[in-house]
Structure 1
Amino acid sequence: MNLKWTIRISFLLFMGMVFAQEPREIEVKTTVKDVTVFIEGAQITRKKAVDIPSGTSILKFTDLSPFINGKSLQLKADGNVTVLSVNQQQNYLEKLDKSKELKTLETQLELVRNKIKRERTYLDILTEEIVFLQANKNIGGNQTLTAATLKSAADYYSTQLTAIKLKELDRKATLDDLYVQERDLQNQINTLTGKKEYANGEVLVKMEAKRATRSNLELTYVVNNAGWFPSYDIRSTNVNEAVSLVYKANVKQDTKIDWKYVNLRLSSANPNISGTAPEMQTYFLDYNTRPPVYNLSVNEVSGVVRDSQNQPLPGVMVIVQGSSIGTTTDFNGYFSLALPSNANSLEFSYLGFERKTLPISRSVMNVTLVEDAQTLEEVVVVGYSGKEKRAMRNEMVADASMEPQIKSVPLQQVENQTTVDFLIDLPYTVNSDNKMYTVTMADYALPATYQYFSIPKIEKEAYLISSIKDWEKYNLLEGEANIFFENTFVGKTVLDVRYASDTLDISLGRDKSVSVNREKITDFSSKKFVGTRKEESRAWKITVKNNKSQSINMLLLDQVPVSVRDEIKVEVDELSGGKHNTQTGEIKWELRLNPNEERVFTLKYVVKYPRNRNLVIE
């Protein structure tokens, strides 16, 4: 054998050894088995038993969501195998399959657009006919014009022009109908998918096995573009019965992968505690100070969220910053959200757009979101195939034309160290269809005591407060609540448990059957000089009437100023039986009113201070 053949054979043997050492790639197709949905995001678990050959292999998990958080990837494998690495990539050569419904809608849209082109062509032809007719309407030449000839020509011109104009009107009417069909189909398509094509998410796992084995694999990762928030229906028939509280979870996901018959778990951070009733500020009295001003805080906010092209954005998550209280915009980009008393800011988040946090300064907030170019670039950079980049914009749409899908399912509550989890006992399906799935998790009959509450100095309204003890065992989270009292929807409130004590107070809204009024008694309000001092008197008349057919308990609050200087004296003359907190100046009346009973309370106090100084007194 000559040297040439020896080199060739050696090269082939070497290449054979190189290729033999390359890891074998095994494609793994899995289904979603377990899903834990957080307030924002969800943890996905996929399971599959796979035959692993001896040596090094690369397992390629395909048909995954394009929105995987790479840092969250975990793989568990039993048997005598070693996981060497776990990496994420996106395959733009193989796009995620479109649903049958989406394909049908796109076909219909294409047919409508072809009809629009045809109608436009007909209109162009009619326009040309009108131009031709008008260009040849003059009668001349060598012929002798008679009255009969002129009339015949005029009739012909009028008849032809009328016919063409009527055809033009018909075509325009048909075209208008087609434009409506095109818009409706496009809007429906937008409720099912984004405007962009989405890559096929993939996870590559490099494994080593000393011998061929069958291993049970469990792939876990966190995806964006999913979440849930709680809401409640609170019903009270009258003040002598328990409060009915329906605990609901509003689940939504647009991860581009349906969750079919999965083990569903809803999870949230351990809630803080809160109360929603109005609070008085201590009335400190000093020179150059003013009485506290009570500007009623915004208790409900609404508005429209749009993009930079002034188009409404459906499905935008609107969350009270630092809480789980939230909602989503409807198909027209509109949202409405009840607020807790200490709410300061709202967060607006939408995949593919910059998150925006705005202070709550008014009851109407119209917001414009800007596309996040950096985020879109990060989404498409891995696995880029050389084709034109497509920005990943996620159209999270809540279809306002459809009622939320509400289901009542059995569940278990698991209280962990830092989270409360709700496990749905039955396999559950949540499609990636931009629709809100409302799950009725529990219906509680809560023993409660009722009391009316009013601070007429701030607001001349009586609120019915339901007080519930041992509320912690229900694992309630803060959320928006619909209030039904005496079989009537009375409005929205916020069930805010972040700062609640051993008793949870739930506001059931205003009750117009209990009237409250506060007015200054001018005859007793005066200013006079006594020696080297000034004396200013103030008197207030507070009237409460129960117009209901049953007795009620009521808590009434007011205040007197609190001096911060020895030379300023505040003397209370009359309280009508109220309890005076000398530290805060709070005056409290606790009373029981019989049906149609009216009570009047008088509050009088005198402020004494040096006559050469000035005080601003209410």
Structure 2
Amino acid sequence: MQHLRKYIFLMLGLLVIAGNNYAQTAAQLDKVVVFSSGAELHHSVTLAVKQGASEVQVYQLARVADVKSIQIVAPTQVSVVGVKYQHNYLQPATNNNKLLQDSIRQVQAQIAQLQLQKSEADQMQQLLKANMETKGQAGLQVAEFAKFFDYYRAKLNTLQKEVQVLHTNIEALQVIQQRLQQQANEQSQRKEQPTGSITLQLQSTIAGKYTFQISYIASAASWKPSYEIKVKNVQSGIQIIQKAAIVQNTGIDWKQVKLSLNSGMPLNQQEAPVLTPRFVRYVNPYTGRTKNKETINYNTNEYSADALEQTDAQNLESMLQGRVAGVNVTGVPGASKQVTLRGISSISAGSTPLYIVDGVPVEAAIFQKIPSVQIESIDVLKDAAATSIYGSRGAQGVVMVTTKNATDYISQDQQLLNQQFEVELPYDVVQGFNAQTVTLQSKEIPVMYKHVTVPSINPQVYLVAEIADWSKYNLLPGSATIQVQGTYVGTTMLNTAATSDTLALTLGIDKQVNVQRNVLKDVSSVKFLGSSKLQTFTYEIVVKNNKQEGIALQLQDQIPLTTNTDIQIELKDAGGATITDDKGFLTWQLNLAPGEVKKLQYTFTVRYPKDKIVRW
């Protein structure tokens, strides 16, 4: 045991020596650019640099950094002469198990307090019962005994109820404690992961504190787009809400960072492909393998979000000062300020105007706390313009503020190779396997609606929305949930890899349009002509529109094709369909009135040697 203690003390001493032979400072994560696979992390760190040569260690970096991508931006007074990346086991990643243990201890303390109260209540019940027996043996008169008995019974009843409540609360807390302990046990089984750190070798002409910028590419992070598609009715367009699901396991939590989401992916191999000659050769067919490739009507002073961004003011009062005629802001820096709107009705009154935020009147104190970054626009009304809307409440003028929606904090940039979304609001993205969802943008897109059915494959009729010239909306491939008139109807995929100018979105099955497809046996036949067999097939398709409005329906069917010269296929009657000869497709474009029924027929023949059997 004594040798073990000496060994432990020795190792601790070595750790202290190893950790203190140069300065150590934690980096601050400021910005993250998340790619479809991987992320670029941007840190800042302020270091006390000695004159001449020195070494410092910067920790709290991602443990999965690509060493080749590390970039250090140093001030002009300092030269970075060496960079070494390594894992840091002395400052491991934050372990959530400590938080769970703290919660368990808090619950245990509450349970102990309730158990103490319950014990006191139990003792009080025993004392009352003992007193009742004593009083009963004291020879009291009947009236006096009845009085004492009623008192003790009421007191016991109260204590019993109190004990029952305490018992219920203790059981509830014990359940919570058990669940917390189970979660803590699971967390404790996970291997504690290190963070990343870099050691900088510096050469400085002047000693001082300097700020460095550190960036690098880290794996174990990604995002993928998803969508919500909302359809009100077939007379209006669709609303597409684009979202991003972000997942990261970089080893550090991203706390209040500025996020950028990029549709590209950092590559290690950046060369374009170059063709080389390919030669035909004989192969063994039994061993060769192939691969598949495959608005306001009066005068106002209005400020937009763009105009507000051009000022460094941190509060709304400072934004108004000097930018609106007749607006006067008084007060000392760091304290609440007084805003007055000078006009015919307020020049002598000098009192506070009425504040309206998103249509709701608020107090001046609430108005002053609104961060400038959340402002979409400001309208200032004075005199008749104010009183005509708000009456006497607007006699001192009205300041109307419109705040941003969630998607107003997202800006989109079409870069040379990729799309990038800038998220203005800082976000927390905790490492783990649970995705953090960010709403990127919401767009109203005009579409053309039509119904589509292919009864030879599926006897259902689908409602499809077609987006013309869809590439201008900068959509990315991803899954989408669909809501029609506020009801969830299913999911679909946005296939932006399509080469056509029109993007089709399947919105769901329309049960109010029915279709049936059957072979008409009465007009279908089989004949033998010499050594050949001739089969005639006639199909009938019946479509009925049970809706209250007319619809446009695209109906498709097909006839078989052959590459065998002994087999002959002939389309006898297309039934008014448009024919795609090289594919054998038959297409009808129908307009069905409410309640209308239409019948379609087409006929084709198949001729082949009678000693053969064919399938399609």
TM-score category by the smaller chain? 0.5 to 0.7
Q: Which amino acid aligns with 1:63?
A: Q
In structure 1, the partner of 2:51 is 54
Q: Which amino acid aligns with 1:512?
A: K
Q: Match of 1:523, SS?
A: coil
Could you tell me how far 1:530 is from its partner in structure 2?
1.7
Residues 428-459 of structure 1, C-alpha deviation per residue, up to 9 Å, x if partnerless? 33344654332221111001001111111111
Q: TM-score, normalised by structure 1?
A: 0.59
**Contact 2:194–2:251 (CA<8 Å) still a contact in 1?**
no
Identity percentage of aligned residues: 31
Could you tell me how far 1:260 is from its partner in structure 2?
2.8
**Contact 2:453–2:556 (CA<8 Å) still a contact in 1?**
yes
Q: Match of 1:461, SS?
A: strand
Indicate which of 204, 209, 212 corresponds to 1:209. 204
Q: In the alignment, is residue 233 of structure 1 matched against residue 231 of structure 2? A: no
Q: Match of 2:575, SS?
A: coil
**Contact 2:256–2:426 (CA<8 Å) still a contact in 1?**
yes
Which one has a larger percent helix, Structure 1 or Structure 2? 2
In structure 2, the partner of 1:479 is 478
Paired residues for 1:432-511 under 5 Å: 432=431, 435-511=434-510
Q: How many residues align?
A: 403
Could you tell me how far 1:477 is from its partner in structure 2?
1.4
**Alpha-carbon separation, structure 1, partners of 2:222 and 2:418:** 15
Structure 1: stretches of 5+ with no match in the other structure? 1-22, 116-172, 271-405
Q: Aligned in 2, Cα 1:186/1:514: closer, same or farther, shift over 3 Å?
A: farther
Higher relative contact order structure (alpha carbons within 8 Å, sequence separation ≥ 6): 1
Q: Aligned in 2, Cα 1:551/1:179: closer, same or farther, shift over 3 Å?
A: same
**Alpha-carbon separation, structure 2, partners of 1:200 and 1:581:** 61
Residues 372-431 of structure 1, C-alpha deviation per residue, up to 9 Å, x if partnerless? xxxxxxxxxxxxxxxxxxxxxxxxxxxxxxxxxx95452111222332110012333334
Paired residues for 1:127-276 under 5 Å: 180-181=175-176, 184-186=179-181, 188-189=183-184, 195-212=190-207, 215-269=210-264
Could you tell me how far 1:54 is from its partner in structure 2?
2.8
In structure 2, the partner of 1:139 is none
Structure having the higher Rg: 2
**Contact 2:101–2:184 (CA<8 Å) still a contact in 1?**
no
Could you tell me how far 1:34 is from its partner in structure 2?
0.8
Residues 553-600 of structure 1, C-alpha deviation per residue, up to 9 Å, x if partnerless? 111111112232444322212222001122111111111111111111
Q: Which amino acid aligns with 2:74?
A: A
**Alpha-carbon separation, structure 1, partners of 2:464 and 2:188:** 44
**Alpha-carbon separation, structure 1, partners of 2:37 and 2:176:** 35
In structure 1, the partner of 2:527 is 528
**Alpha-carbon separation, structure 2, partners of 1:183 and 1:228:** 35
In structure 1, the partner of 2:295 is none
Residues 73-115 of structure 1, C-alpha deviation per residue, up to 9 Å, x if partnerless? 2212231433233222233234344467444235358889999
Q: Match of 1:104, SS?
A: helix
Structural RMSD (CA)? 3.3
**Mean Cα displacement is larger for which, 488-497 or 39-48?**
39-48
Q: Match of 2:496, SS?
A: coil
**Contact 1:562–1:582 (CA<8 Å) still a contact in 2?**
no
**Contact 1:191–1:434 (CA<8 Å) still a contact in 2?**
no
**Contact 2:95–2:192 (CA<8 Å) still a contact in 1?**
no
Q: Which amino acid aligns with 1:519?
A: N
In structure 2, the partner of 1:611 is 610
Q: Aligned in 2, Cα 1:443/1:81: closer, same or farther, shift over 3 Å?
A: same
**Contact 1:526–1:538 (CA<8 Å) still a contact in 2?**
yes
Q: Match of 1:261, SS?
A: strand
Paired residues for 1:563-582 under 5 Å: 563-582=562-581
**Alpha-carbon separation, structure 1, partners of 2:569 and 2:555:** 21
Q: Aligned in 2, Cα 1:186/1:463: closer, same or farther, shift over 3 Å?
A: farther
Q: Which amino acid aligns with 1:245?
A: I
Q: Match of 1:562, SS?
A: coil
Indicate which of 18, 25, 28 corresponds to 2:25. 28
Q: Which amino acid aligns with 1:511?
A: D
Q: TM-score, normalised by structure 2?
A: 0.59
Q: Aligned in 2, Cα 1:106/1:207: closer, same or farther, shift over 3 Å?
A: farther
In structure 1, the partner of 2:83 is 86
Could you tell me how far 1:257 is from its partner in structure 2?
2.9
**Alpha-carbon separation, structure 2, partners of 1:72 and 1:193:** 33
Paired residues for 1:541-556 under 5 Å: 541-556=540-555
**Contact 1:33–1:47 (CA<8 Å) still a contact in 2?**
yes
Residues 356-379 of structure 1, C-alpha deviation per residue, up to 9 Å, x if partnerless? xxxxxxxxxxxxxxxxxxxxxxxx
Q: Aligned in 2, Cα 1:82/1:24: closer, same or farther, shift over 3 Å?
A: farther
Paired residues for 1:52-451 under 5 Å: 52-98=49-95, 101-107=99-105, 180-181=175-176, 184-186=179-181, 188-189=183-184, 195-212=190-207, 215-269=210-264, 408-432=407-431, 435-451=434-450
In structure 1, the partner of 2:40 is 43
Q: Which amino acid aligns with 2:53?
A: T
**Alpha-carbon separation, structure 2, partners of 1:247 and 1:413:** 12
Q: Match of 1:460, SS?
A: strand
Structure 2: stretches of 5+ with no match in the other structure? 1-19, 114-167, 266-404
**Contact 2:24–2:58 (CA<8 Å) still a contact in 1?**
yes
**Mean Cα displacement is larger for which, 439-448 or 205-214?**
205-214
Q: Match of 2:522, SS?
A: helix
Q: Aligned in 2, Cα 1:437/1:192: closer, same or farther, shift over 3 Å?
A: farther
Could you tell me how far 1:496 is from its partner in structure 2?
2.0
Q: Aligned in 2, Cα 1:111/1:42: closer, same or farther, shift over 3 Å?
A: farther
Q: Which amino acid aligns with 1:422?
A: F
